Amino acid sequence: MTAPAATVSAERDETFLRRAFRLAMTGRGRVEPNPMVGCVLVRDGRIIGEGYHTHWGGPHAEPTALADCAARGEGPAGATAYVTLEPCCHTNKKTPPCAPRLIAAKVVRVVIGCLDPNPAVNGNGVAMLRAAGIRVDGPVLEAEAKQLISPFLKSQGSGRPYVTMKWAETADGKVAGPGGRRMQISNPAASRLVHQLRARSDGIVVGIGTVLADDPLLTARGVEAARPLRRFVLDTHLRSPPDSQLVRTARTVPLVVSASPAARNDPARAGRVAELRAAGVKFLDDDDGVDGRINLREFLGSLIGDVYHLLAEPGPTLARSLFPWADRLWVFRSPRRADDDTAPAAAPIPAGYAETGRLDVEGDTLTEYLNRSGEAFHTTVPSADFVLATEDRMTE
Ligand SMILES: NC(=O)c1ccc[n+]([C@@H]2O[C@H](COP(=O)([O-])OP(=O)(O)OC[C@H]3O[C@@H](n4cnc5c(N)ncnc54)[C@H](OP(=O)(O)O)[C@@H]3O)[C@@H](O)[C@H]2O)c1
Ligand SMILES: [Zn+2]
């Protein structure tokens, strides 16, 4: 049986697929470690239903769009389904597969953004739809579709989390006040965006330099917490102070210290280890890495299972060693100045980082960069978090 011809226009396909990208982003922070997925149903050039994957274990984008279609009193027969990711066809998971749902709904055409890298799907979803006589087009806007789910693709492919680095700097390029003492650089609106980003991450990592200088708490405050958060400190020589805010809150928000075996097994530090353990601090097994510091490849590789999206809030030292490993960078630039030679300067951003967006945040500027040489890079479009931050600013 041949499906009735649906009117095809490349420009219209891209418009509806972009709508599906934006819908997908609404699930950010709740669907992980699943990918964000959106679906738009169109008949006669009109949207008759749309949906996105709202949370991990919840219904997929396609059945949500079909339900929306029914709620609008529309029928999906003869429609085109725009889906950011290939519809699934495997049954060994929480929800029933989507390709058979689209077939049963009698859609005549499916346009996909990219194939599902999951080996259980990867082209099989498309094949199932085609075998049922449905026309499947795509990948359309493939690089953007992959960029949308790059944290998912990265964690599946490399076994390491997607890494975002963020810092704030003054107009004269400093990240702290005189002598490295803490200085309030960001304005409240910029800080709010940071707390939102923390709330959507699974983990935050800092270097011990920042713990000693700033005594940070590293929790998501004043925003809805979308995900459980773990905090990590890279502390080769076990200098984490037992009376720091991080350690004092270790029983309520998990704190993991990564220290070298030499420090953990040093009899002179046995008291410190016991004190930290008693406070609820967990230790990560790490070998001494480059220059006797924590090996970042091992550290990042140990996180998968718990952490798919890691936010690093580094000082200049950790920033320098994280550049090759990070995927995205958010720099908040303030009009304030430090005007002091002893204030530490921000690490220079390597040329491989491409700017993807710039946002005015009540006088501070947020600039997003993506690491072109990183494993998660597909194209220079703003990330979902940047798009959401931009909309958040527009509605303030
Ligand atoms: N403006 C901002 O957004 C912002 C953010 C954070 C910090 N800061 C400022 O930055 C300053 C602290 O920065 P910092 O550069 O001294 O320290 P840092 O980057 O916070 O921490 C660096 C330390 O982490 C430990 N480390 C362990 N493994 C590492 C690895 N693989 N690579 C790099 N470091 C590793 C090292 O100490 P061990 O060898 O002892 O383990 C290293 O000295 C403070 O003045 C703070 O106020 C500003
Ligand atoms: Zn599905």
The topology under which CATH files domain 10-148 is Cytidine Deaminase; domain 2 (3.40.140)
Ligand 1 atom nearest to CA at 211? 20
Closest CA to 114 of 156, 72, 77, 79: 156
Q: Identify whether 33 is preceded by a cis peptide bond (ω within 30 of 0).
A: yes
**228/151 Cα distance (integer angstroms):** 17
Q: Is 169 a catalytic residue?
A: no
The C-alpha torsion from 376 through 377 and 382 to 384, rounded to 10°, is -20
Please give the structure tokens belonging to residue 204: 């935050």
Compute the distance from residue 290 Cα to the ligand 2 centre, in Å.
Answer: 43
Q: What is the pLDDT of residues 209-235, one digit of tens each?
A: 999 999 999 999 999 888 899 999 999
The domain ranges of the chain are 10-148, 155-395
**56/32 Cα distance (integer angstroms):** 6
DSSP states along 287-354: -B-GGGSB-HHHHHHTTTTT-SEEEE---HHHHHHHTTT-SEEEEEE-S-----TTSPBPPPPPTTEE
**236/255 Cα distance (integer angstroms):** 15
Please give the structure tokens belonging to residue 212: 């000693």
Eight-class DSSP state of 14: H
- 193 band by pLDDT with thresholds 50, 70 and 90: very high
Q: Is the CB of 246 under 6 A from ligand 1?
A: no
Token pair 């049954």: residue: 91
- 2 band by pLDDT with thresholds 50, 70 and 90: very low
Specify the 3-state DSSP secondary structure of 174: strand
Alpha carbon 19 to its chain's center: 20
Eight-class DSSP state of 36: P
Its sign, for the CA torsion 55, 58, 64, 68, is negative
Mean pLDDT value across residues 172-177: 98
Does pLDDT of 94 surpass 80?
no
Per the prediction, the chain carries an average pLDDT of 95
- 288 band by pLDDT with thresholds 50, 70 and 90: low
Phi-psi category of residue 329: left, alpha or beta, with phi > 0 → left and psi -120 to 50 → alpha: beta
Does pLDDT of 104 surpass 80?
yes
Q: What is the pLDDT of residues 300-316, one digit of tens each?
A: 999 999 999 999 999 99
Whose alpha carbon is nearest atom 43 of ligand 1? 209
Pocket test for ligand 1, best of 182, 210, 239, 286 (most atoms within 8 A of CB): 210
Q: H or E stretch including 155? A: helix 150-158
Does pLDDT of 36 surpass 90?
yes
Q: Is the CB of 294 under 6 A from ligand 1?
A: yes
Whose alpha carbon is nearest atom 9 of ligand 1? 315
Q: Catalytic residue among 11, 14, 50, 62, which? A: 62
Distance set, CA 163 to CA 154, 260, 308, 310, 358 (Å): 10, 22, 9, 5, 19
Strand order in the sheet with 109-114: 46-52, 38-43, 80-85, 109-114, 135-137
The end-to-end CA distance of the chain, in Å, is 53
Q: Is the CB of 208 under 6 A from ligand 1?
A: yes
Whose alpha carbon is nearest atom 21 of ligand 1? 207
CB 327 within 8 A of CB 164: yes
* Highest CATH level, class, for 155-395: alpha beta
Whose alpha carbon is nearest atom 38 of ligand 1? 236
Q: Is the CB of 318 under 6 A from ligand 1?
A: yes
Whose alpha carbon is nearest atom 3 of ligand 1? 167
By the 10 Å C-beta count (0-12 exposed, 13-18 middle, 19+ buried), 373 is classed as exposed
Q: pTM for this structure?
A: 0.96
Compute the distance from residue 221 Cα to the ligand 1 centre, in Å.
Answer: 23
**322/326 Cα distance (integer angstroms):** 6
Pocket test for ligand 1, best of 187, 193, 208, 322 (most atoms within 8 A of CB): 208
Q: What is the pLDDT of residues 43-65, one digit of tens each?
A: 999 999 999 999 999 999 999 99
Mean pLDDT value across residues 160-183: 97
What ligand has the least distance to the C-alpha of 86? Answer: 2
Residue-level pLDDT at 318: 98
Mean pLDDT value across residues 24-36: 96
